[in-house]
Amino acid sequence: MIGDFFSSIGSLLSIVFSASFIASGVAFSVVMLLGTVGELITERAGHLNLGVEGMMLLGASMGYYTAVRSSNLFLALLFACIGAGFGALLYAILTVTLRVNQNVAGLALSIFGAGLANALGSKVANTTTPDNIAKVFTWKPLSLTSPSGPFLSYINKAFLSHDIYVYLAVLLAIATTVFLFKTRAGLELRLTGENTAAADASGIKVTRIKYLYIILGGMLCGIGGLYLPLVQQGSWTNNMTAGQGWLVVALVIFVRWHPVKAIAGAYVFGSLTILGFSVQLNEKLSSIPIFNQYIMSMFPYLLTIIVLIAFSSRKKAWPGPKEIGRPYFREER
Amino acid sequence: MESIVRNDLHPAFSMRGITKMFGTVLANDSVDFEVLPGEIHALLGENGSGKSTLMNVLSGIYRPDDGQIEVYGELKEFRSPGDAIDSGIGMIHQHYKLAEAMTATENIVAGMKKPPKNSGKKDDVLRTDILRYASRSPAKTQQKIIEFSSRFGIEFDPSIPAGQLSVSQKQSVEIIKVLLRGASILILDEPTAVLTPQEAKKLFSVLRKMAAQGCAIVFISHKLNEIMALCDRVTVLRKGQSIETCTVSEIDAYDLVEKMVGRKINLSINKPDPDPERRVCLDVKGLTYSDSKSVPKLDNLSFTTYYGEILGVAGLAGGGQKELCESIAGIIRPQQGDILVDNERIAGLSPRDITQKGVAMCFIPEDRLGMGLVASMGIEENILLKEYALTKGPLIRMKDATTKAEQIINELEIKTPGLKHPVRMLSGGNIQKVILGREIHLNPKLMIAAYAVRGLDIHSSYTIYNLLNEQKQKNVSVLYIGEDLDVLIDLCDRIMVLCQGKNMGIVDASSTTKEEIGQMMSGTTLEELKRGVSYV
């Protein structure tokens, strides 16, 4: 019995630390990393946008549709931004200008975005990513041609054999951290999300800031979403984000509104999501009930709850941007 | 030190015919207001007379419906607070606008604009430096801020989160924030409301320094003695209109009150003698309480109250007053200590049981509606809230509540369109009278009145003082928690001073001074004072 237990732990570890599993985890986390950075800057402006799933799908469908019709990668990226940015703009008009409840507006955007995206996506459902674009992503910019020794070849396979999208996403997360904590514009964004009235009284143009970062955040979600049909699957499937947008909302809390931590956080969530599939393929493990893929798909949420509990009981922990969920009206008495 | 005066020929600013409506309420009705460079100008008026509205118009937060604003002789139109800042106007709001989780430095620097290049002004060089270092070296920025603050005699640690600063330090941060944005017109909305007398004195010397350098300062206050001591001129507002501007040295406090209220009123509190028997009503022993974040709020607090007297409680905001009230009322459970009423333990009982033992509480929180009343319900239903528990059977008896509501409205002269009119639509004074009236009608043994006159104007405040004195004459033991030291001294028989949840000592109101209480509020115990030790 105990022997069985250790041997199943052993097989689990051998899966988790295998180079191929890490590689797929990294690839799988790109969508969520970009989405998390996007949602994170939105929340730093004091707005919780629950429409991530909708914006990801809008970006994915608009971008993929453009890619198929034009075979132009830059146009595809541009239209992914326009599609998701449009969704975010609607959300901004509702919550910033009209001061509608943020949760309701976000949920509406989630449903509206998915509907619109599926309608557009089905028009290109039976096509694949144009060859010239697909070729861009077969390029592995960091891959070593002849890694010497087992360690280097392990690293090479796990971390260095990815397409340009992956590395740009990581760079973006680092750049956003520098922006948030080392620039004046980042400081103004943080102050707006912490105390909008204070920011306003300090001469910061808060409405402009909120619109800017809500829309930018939406665009990043869209670019994240585009990775799915354009690179990962190479074709369109309706509702293909399959809940990753919701995982992003949890991830932002999990990484405590910190973009660099989002790199690791997205990897943890990404690999937990695919762990279910990998475990199914292992005979020894698939017979153990807890390693059912449906049960395993809830692990990321379980983890988020644990983090939430850990921080809510900590005495002086920062509870996140204070203005989240609170509409701002300058002339309020 | 270079002068900030831009042009001596013009007033620093002049507002003419300012009109501002909120819905159907006329908050400012064609108000004229003018302040000269280098003067400290008081803006005086009762609650709802439109002082804050007028200053919010000047600082770009409200947009006026009509009227003109000139700054140093130039016509301006402010679309946002940023525009007002660009014209050199800085407002220190009554409720500080600071992000508590961010450091003082971050609060100060965020939103600062780059000054024009090579303007040759010494301050502009400093501003450029602060902005340049802001994103690179927090330590250097902080040092520059300390350097700048010391010029005005202001001290605080810019490296710690704003939420951890004391109220007076937060105020300093706000002042430095507007000064670094180049403000030469400073508006302070009730700046001394939360300060100890010592801190207020320090603030006054800072303000005088700034005025001497040519700043125009608008000082909003209810406290006549402060205006008389600090200001050069005073403008009185009444019901949204500007009534008169006078030179402070040419008038006295009684004239000011008359101008403010519109008629002569008596400003003395008629203090009846306390019951000489000194029978103990409330007995608090060694009360100790820490909140959920383990921050100590009450620290081995012991005292007694007597029937037929008013015991005042003085202390800085957050000194444990709220926790003391909530412990007695049974809302929170102190970790240690005991509370007795008539030698009967009430610690550990439910709030309802405590009410039935004869303890009534009137607690007015900062937002005034948060505790005690349901804002959207009428007076009648709000009275039912306490009443229904005493009736038998599952049905409520509206009739009793209606009679009682009518009685309270008549006795306390509450102005309301009807019994069912939502209380949140009433004015602050009337809301507070409803709470007090309801609690009085429970015929309590012990009446806790916490911040009962918070935000009320002079006239309504005196009505409430009289109500409390009536309770005292009915031999009720009153615990009065207040902010205004003059009132505490005039109204109460004894005053207990709290500092960080500790009892600093109980003084006799007839023989104490504001300075004595002020020193105790900032942490010197009565014994130490008597021995001549002082930390202030």
Q: Is B248 helix (H, G, I), strand (E, B) or coil?
A: helix
**Chain-chain contact of B135 with A183 (C-beta, under 8 angstroms):** yes
> How close A180 gets to chain B, by Cα (Å)?
10
Residue of B nearest to A202 (CA): B111
> Quick check: A267 pLDDT over 80?
yes
| A331 vs B366 pLDDT, higher one | A331
B→A interface, C-beta within 8 Å: 22, 59, 61-63, 80-82, 85-86, 91, 93, 97-102, 106-107, 109-113, 131, 134-136, 177, 181, 293-294
The model's pTM is 0.83
Please name the residues in contact with B295: beta carbons below 8 A apart, sequence gap of 6 or more. Answer: none
Asked if B246 and B234 count as a contact pair (C-beta separation under 8 A), the reply is yes
Find the mean pLDDT for residues A129-136: 94
Q: Which residues pair with B307 in a beta bridge?
A: none
Nearest CB to A191 within list B59, B102, B181 = B102
**Chain-chain contact of B131 with A190 (C-beta, under 8 angstroms):** no
State residue B534's pLDDT score: 56
Find the mean pLDDT for residues A204-212: 97
Please name the residues in contact with B187: beta carbons below 8 A apart, sequence gap of 6 or more. Answer: B55, B58, B59, B89, B90, B91, B92, B217, B218, B220
| A126 vs A175 pLDDT, higher one | A175
Asked if B288 and B299 count as a contact pair (C-beta separation under 8 A), the reply is yes
pLDDT in tens, A29-79: 999 999 999 999 999 999 999 999 999 999 999 999 999 999 999 999 999
Element (H, E) at B361: strand B359-363
Separation CA A332–CA B349 (nearest Å) = 40
Sign of the CA dihedral running A166, A169, A173, A178: positive
State residue B2's pLDDT score: 41
State residue B1's pLDDT score: 37
Token pair of B249 as six digits: 């040295």
Rounded alpha-carbon distances, angstroms, from residue B222 to B210, B257, B447, B465, B520: 22, 10, 27, 17, 24
Chain A residues touching residue B81 (CB < 8 angstroms): 200-203
**Chain-chain contact of A201 with B97 (C-beta, under 8 angstroms):** yes
Nearest CB to A182 within list B85, B135, B177 = B135
| A17 vs B378 pLDDT, higher one | A17
Rounded to the nearest 5 percent, the helix, strand and coil shares of chain B are 35, 25, 40
- Residue A320 sits at the chain B interface (C-beta within 8 Å): no
State residue B6's pLDDT score: 47
ipTM above 0.90, yes or no: no
State residue A200's pLDDT score: 95
Residue of B nearest to A320 (CA): B101
Residue type (1 letter), B312? G
Mean pLDDT (10-residue bins), chain B, 536 residues: 53 96 86 96 86 93 95 94 94 91 94 79 83 83 92 91 90 94 93 83 93 94 86 93 93 86 76 88 93 84 94 88 90 91 89 85 65 77 74 76 85 78 74 83 88 76 87 92 88 93 92 90 86 63
Token pair of B285 as six digits: 């022993």
Nearest CB to A203 within list B63, B82, B107 = B82
Task: Give the angle A12-A18-A24 at the CA atoms, nearest 5°.
Answer: 105
Chain B residues touching residue A256 (CB < 8 angstroms): none
State residue A3's pLDDT score: 76
Residue type (1 letter), A159? F
**Chain-chain contact of B110 with A204 (C-beta, under 8 angstroms):** yes
Q: Can you say how many angstroms the Cα of residue B110 is from the centroid of all Cα atoms in its chain?
A: 27
DSSP for A3-68, written as a single string: HHHHHHHHHHHHHHTSHHHHHHHHHHHHHHHHHHHHHHHHHHTT---TTHHHHHHHHHHHHHHHHH
Element (H, E) at A222: helix A206-227
